[in-house]
Amino acid sequence: MVTPYKQRTTATNTGRPASPPGAPTGTYPGTSPGTAPRSPYGTPPRTSSSLEGREDEQSIGDLIGAIGADLSQLVRDEIELAKAEIKQESTKAGKAVGMLGGAGYAGHLVLLLGSLTAIFALANVMDPAWAALIVTALWAVVGAVLYTTGRKRLRTVNLKPEQTMETVKEDARWVRHPTS
């Protein structure tokens, strides 16, 4: 007895199914063995006969074209990654600089008024001109220390998109040696 949807094999002894997996095979209810199967609507079901004998090989030109398209997409993706990375770091730096600017202005006012207070306090003990000179000299030392410290830290800032550069290097290594 033949059961519905029994898998057929080709006439040659390859053992491969005549249809791709999932395609209707075998006899259908209401048909006898040896007759063409029919769908419930009376039409023959689709088979893979148009695909039989066709090989899924691509030409070298197709492969080179696909590689070129992949490389183009890869370069576009790397550029987008670099833009996003730089934008993210620039946004963080911009916010930090804005806050430091506001703090600097407030600090400037505090120091100016504190300096005037120190000058008036020292003026009770000595000549007001000498009091102003001493306070000014102290601020000159503080300014020099802050300048040298800030300059050293500024030299350590790295605005290169490190992650993007690393992935570009990996991509270049892959293009040179795709199997490794």
Say how far apart CA 118 and CA 14 lie, in whole Å: 102
Tell me 65's DSSP state: H
The least confident of 80-89, 118-127, 169-178 is: 169-178
pLDDT, mean of residues 73-86:
88
Tell me the domain boundaries of the chain.
Answer: 1-56, 60-176
* Strand residues in 6-150 grouped as ranges (E): none
What tokens were used for 1? 């007895």
- DSSP reduced 3-state for 4: strand
**pLDDT per position as a tens digit, 121-145:** 999 999 999 999 999 999 999 999 9
| Residue bearing the bigger pLDDT, 54 or 161 | 161
pLDDT at 10: 42
- DSSP reduced 3-state for 17: strand
Say how far apart CA 75 and CA 82 lie, in whole Å: 11
pLDDT category at 21 given cuts 50, 70, 90 is low
State the pTM of this model. 0.36
